[in-house]
């Protein structure tokens, strides 16, 4: 049974909820990755590049704004999202054959 932080009475409770959330985050990352693959499929016939600087800036700013709205440290989450973006671009480059050029 899911508990809020305030409902956790033991470290075991806290750890169980963190593990539950980590699994949920991984599920969301896996879903996000499906969209990265699809983006490459759509970009290929359009001859679009993996790296679209305007979109990268937009996603980074979204991460920063969302962090602020949720009371999180914006610089940390912008950095985290930058790593996600860089990893996705590298993956798209492989799928698009850009890393062979």
Q: For 43-98, how does the pLDDT look when each residue is reduced to its tens digit (9 = 90+)?
A: 999 999 999 999 999 999 999 999 999 999 999 999 999 999 999 999 999 999 99
Q: For 20-46, how does the pLDDT look when each residue is reduced to its tens digit (9 = 90+)?
A: 999 999 999 999 999 999 999 999 999
Looking at the structure of the chain, the number of domains it has is 1
Residue 71's domain spans which residues?
A: 5-100
pLDDT at 99: 77
Span 1-8, average pLDDT: 96
Cα of 65 vs its chain's centroid, Å:
14
pLDDT at 101: 55
Task: Report DSSP letters for 42-91, one per residue.
Answer: HHHHHT--S--HHHHHHHHHHHHHHHHHTT--HHHHHHHHHHHHHHHHHH
Q: What is the CATH number of the domain that holds 94?
A: 1.20.59.10
């Amino acid at each position: 049974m899911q508990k809020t932080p305030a409902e956790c009475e033991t470290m075991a409770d806290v750890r169980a909820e963190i593990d539950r959330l980590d699994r949920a985050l991984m599920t969301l990352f896996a879903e996000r990755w499906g969209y990265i693959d699809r983006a490459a499929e759509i970009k290929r016939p359009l001859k679009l590049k993996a790296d679209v600087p305007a979109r990268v800036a937009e996603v980074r700013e979204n991460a920063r704004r969302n962090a602020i709205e949720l009371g999180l440290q914006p610089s940390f989450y912008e950095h985290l999202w930058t790593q996600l973006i860089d990893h996705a671009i590298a993956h798209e480059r492989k799928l698009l054959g850009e890393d062979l050029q």
